[in-house]
Amino acid sequence: MQKTLRIAYAMINCNRRDGSARAVNEVAERMAQRHQVHLFARRAEDLDLSALRWHRMPGVPRPEIMDFLTYRFLAKLRIRPESFDIVHSIGVNAAAANVMTIQNIQPAKRSYLDSQSRIADVSWPRKLARRLYLDVTTRTEEQMYRAGPGQKPLLFLPVSRGVEKELREHYDVGPSLVRIVPNAADTDKFRPIEAAEKLCWRRATGFADSDIILVFAGGEWSRKGLDFAIRALPKLPNLNVKLLVLGKDPDQKRFISLAGELGVAERVVFLGFRNDIATALAASDLFLFPSWYEAFSLATIEAAACGLPIAATRINGTEDFIVPGENGVFIDHDPDQIAAALRPVLEDHAMRKRMGANARRLVERCYTWDRVADLTEQAYFEYLNQARVAGPAHVNGH
């Protein structure tokens, strides 16, 4: 029988709204049923605290750089590595961490952000704040991820093969252990729905029964390629093909204007953030995601769990998930190519249904939160077993 572990999770804000925070909630709740779990976070929202101890972490939430620095400073004071077997940080939040979930590698992500900042209409204070945050977090990554004299071996948990590749390309991790633990979906909440429920939601939201709904979800619309989704619509002249946009972005007016300029304003429906997002996904027909950069999009897995085929660019996560022709298609940042890739799927209802069912089965097999928790626990014990052979300094550096 495996021992009960003492585990500390370091997450600035713990909630179920974004990918990295969602993973902490889901894994921490499950680990608390098996181990002694502590959560060091500013906020703990939508989390069952009955079986774990929450340590509230005050700080300065704005701007982002102060949010990071004040949390990291307090975490250094309050998280004592000798008190835990595992200190699990999301990225570089905690200097005491011996386990890190990696949602992205800053040098890889900033190459895209830097290119966009040159062409996007972003104010200089915002550009300066973003650059400062990237500079500080990149230097912190270099200090924590790169192996060096006296550096303790770590356990890295990248969320996709692409993120693992970026980790190894940018940092020599030495003897540290690397295990991929993906994001997942709540398969009870995100699931296919009956035809009657689907029609009811569509009619209540203004869609026709015959509409074919391409759904896009998330914020940061420029990074996620919403403009390419909109530009592809005129290439799909069937007026019953609609684009549903879930989420918000400060630059929303630009995307509304783009749809108007292209003559597809009535075919693009902006619904903002929704409490019924699971139903909105399940009532749609295909998930369209022309993103430039991701670690492993949570929305993609949730859409697949709802039984939707996935049309996405070849980026981190989708490369692990999509099997072309079986559960989705790959697209490029090219409206003509997007339309050509989508057309056979949109014209064949049976194909969409088959692809969507395959996507759901893959989620059930490989991308549930129970499996993520099991993979995480397995990685913990593998790491600690190696530490036992190498000696106690392997784990906590003391």
pLDDT for residue 84 is more than 90: yes
pLDDT at 2: 77
pTM for the model stands at: 0.92
Task: State yes or no: cis peptide before 63, omega within 30 of 0.
Answer: yes
**What are the residue ranges spanned by the domains of the chain?**
6-184+368-396, 195-366
Calculate mean pLDDT across residues 206-226: 95
What proportion of the chain, given as a percentage, has pLDDT over 90?
A: 79
pLDDT at 373: 97
User: What CATH architecture applies to the domain 195-366?
Assistant: 3-Layer(aba) Sandwich (3.40)
Place of tokens 């900042």: 117
Helix and strand totals (H; E) in the chain: 15, 15
Place of tokens 């693992």: 164
Calculate mean pLDDT across residues 134-149: 92
Pick from 114-118, 343-347, 367-371: least confident:
114-118
pLDDT at 137: 93
pLDDT at 334: 98
Q: How many whole angstroms separate alpha carbon 361 and alpha carbon 117?
A: 39
Class of the domain covering 6-184+368-396 = alpha beta
pLDDT for residue 85 is more than 50: yes
pLDDT band at 397 (very low <50, low <70, confident <90, very high): very low
pLDDT at 148: 84
pLDDT band at 15 (very low <50, low <70, confident <90, very high): confident
Mean pLDDT over the full length of the chain = 92
Higher pLDDT residue, 388 or 32?
A: 32
pLDDT band at 138 (very low <50, low <70, confident <90, very high): very high
Calculate mean pLDDT across residues 200-214: 96
Calculate mean pLDDT across residues 17-33: 86
* Residue 101: strand pairing partners: 90, 157
pLDDT at 150: 78
pLDDT at 119: 47
Whether 195-366 and 6-184+368-396 are alike in CATH topology: the answer is yes
Q: How many whole angstroms separate alpha carbon 288 and alpha carbon 127?
A: 29
Q: How many whole angstroms separate alpha carbon 158 and alpha carbon 108?
A: 14
Q: Which residues of 354-388 are buried (b: 16+ CB within 10 A; e: fewer)?
A: ebbebbbebbeeebbbebbbebbbebbeebbebbe
**Ordered alpha helix ranges (H), 173-276:** 195-205, 226-232, 252-261
pLDDT at 115: 60
Compute, in degrees rounded to 10, the torsion defined by CA atoms 105, 109, 111, 115.
-170
pLDDT at 110: 72
How do residues 222-274 score in pLDDT, each as one tens digit? 999 999 999 999 999 888 999 999 999 999 999 999 999 999 999 999 999 99
How do residues 353-392 score in pLDDT, each as one tens digit? 999 999 999 999 999 999 999 999 999 999 999 988 776 5
